[in-house]
Amino acid sequence: MSAKKVNVAIAGATGAVGNQMLECLEENDFPINNLKLLASEKSRGKRLEYKGETLKVEVLEEDSFKGVDIAIFSAGGGTSKKFAPCAAADGCIVVDNSSAWRMDPDVPLVVPEVNPHAIADYTKKNIIANPNCSTIQMVVALFPIYKKSGIKRIVVSTYQAVSGTGKKAIDELVEQTRSLMNFREPENLVYPHRIAFNCLPHIDDFLDNGYTKEEMKMLNETRKIFEDDSIGVTATTVRVPVIYGHSESVNIETKEFLSAEDVKKLMAEAPGVELVDDIANNVYPLAIDAAGGDLTQVGRIRQDESIENGINMWVVADNIRKGAATNAVQIARILAEEYI
């Protein structure tokens, strides 16, 4: 299918995800007519490169979206809440990376390997939401299993990279590590505790039920993407001192029996998945290998012998690419090819 050339804006272009967005658009050879880079007052006048051209960053304002066909937002929830409706009112289709719109019943929540059909519903608000990074990689891996055998319940623990919190958190991990190596007291500016040489069972804010928002996103977003409120999901989300790449220990109970071999076959053929599972040679998914790529790596596939229909697996992806920028660019590409 041929894509029409479109006018694209990136809101939050100077952030960790925004920067990656530029790279993904370039790699995708995205059919761009005009590209507009937007960020806050702090970034006024900053310059970024796209396809060898230098583009100046403009300050995001309510009327920034006149004549823009697709705006990809990655500037935090508050900014999306405030500015996505302005963009939508000017006829621009918003692909939003924040959690602001994901659970709105009039906003589709899309992972192209799973529910591309939902994109058609963008017309309700002119907004499409990109799911949370931890949810995206999990559903990419689980969807083929869900289709084949059904899934009753998911128990997931995550090992999440600091880049999810943005540039300032990457700086904090590097700075704390440097301090400790130099026998200096590290400072905690971004997280409530030291992240260097540590694990924090705490991502996003705590809720009244004792879970974090990040943990509840994994339940609510999975149900919305699979269009199935009967699936049980219980999550523990943990921050680890890794810069790029989220890892997940995923345990599932399927409705019908699947052997580990069946699951390996499904993963070998699944769109967006790379089967990385050769324990005899110490081969399994690693954050350092998944980082920089667009595939969700799956390995350590084995039977859960404590229940009748259980499978364990280890799922790893680049949280800034497939978990954010790549997924948004895939959605934008479908918009440009099929809807604009």
User: What residues are annotated to the active site?
Assistant: 133, 246
Residue 16 interacting with ligand 25A (CB under 6 A): yes
**50-11-204 Cα angle (round to 5):** 120
71 binds, among ligand 25A, ligand L14, none (CB under 5 to 8 A by kind): none
**Quick one: three-class SS letters along the chain?**
CCCCCEEEEEECCCCHHHHHHHHHHHHCCCCEEEEEEEECHHHCCCEEEECCEEEEEEECCCCCCCCCCEEEECCCHHHHHHHHHHHHHCCCEEEECCCCCCCCCCCCECCCCCCHHHHHHHHHCCEEECCCHHHHHHHHHHHHHHHHHCEEEEEEEEEECHHHHCHHHHHHHHHHHHHHHCCCCCCCCCCCCCCCCCCECCCCCECCCCCEHHHHHHHHHHHHHHCCCCCEEEEEEEECCCCCCEEEEEEEEECCCCCHHHHHHHHHHCCCEEECCEHHHCECCCHHHHCCCCCEEEEEEEECCCCCCEEEEEEEECCCHHHHHHHHHHHHHHHHHHHC
The verdict on 60 binding ligand 25A (CB under 6 A) reads yes
Residue 40 contact, options ligand L14, ligand 25A, none, Cβ 5-8 Å cut-off depending on partner type: ligand 25A
Could you say which of 7, 20, 64, 79 contacts ligand 25A (CB under 6 A)?
79
Question: Which partner, ligand 25A, ligand L14, none, binds residue 160 by CB below 5 to 8 Å per kind?
Answer: ligand L14
Interaction of residue 31 with ligand 25A, rule CB under 6 A = no
Does 297 sit near ligand L14 (CB under 6 A)?
A: no
Backbone Cα Rg of the chain: 20
Binding residues for ligand L14 restricted to 91-110, rule: CB under 6 A: 99
Q: Is 335 exposed, middle or buried (0-12, 13-18, 19+ CB in 10 A)?
A: buried
| Closest CB to ligand 25A among residues 8, 145 | 8
Nearer to ligand 25A, 187 or 261 (CB): 187
Nearer to ligand 25A, 110 or 301 (CB): 110
Select from 150, 161, 169 the least CA-distant residue to 15: 169
Tell me if 332 contacts ligand L14 by CB under 6 A.
no
Residue 171 is a binding residue for ligand 25A (CB under 6 A): yes
With CB under 6 A as the contact rule, the residue among 17, 139, 195, 301 that binds ligand 25A is 17
CB of 50 to ligand L14, least distance (A): 24
133 makes contact with ligand 25A (CB under 6 A)? yes
Site mask, ligand 25A, residues 81-110, x = CB under 6 A?
----------------xx------------
Tell me which of 147, 168, 178, 193 binds ligand 25A, using CB under 6 A: 168
Tell me if 121 contacts ligand L14 by CB under 6 A. Answer: no
Instruction: Enumerate residues 199-218 that contact ligand L14 by CB under 6 A.
Output: 203-204, 214, 217
Q: Choose between 24 and 266: whose C-beta lies nearer to ligand 25A.
A: 24
Q: Residues interacting with ligand L14, by CB under 6 A?
A: 99, 132-133, 160, 164-165, 203-204, 214, 217
Q: Residues interacting with ligand 25A, by CB under 6 A?
A: 12-18, 39-40, 42-43, 60, 74-79, 97-98, 133, 164, 166-168, 171, 324
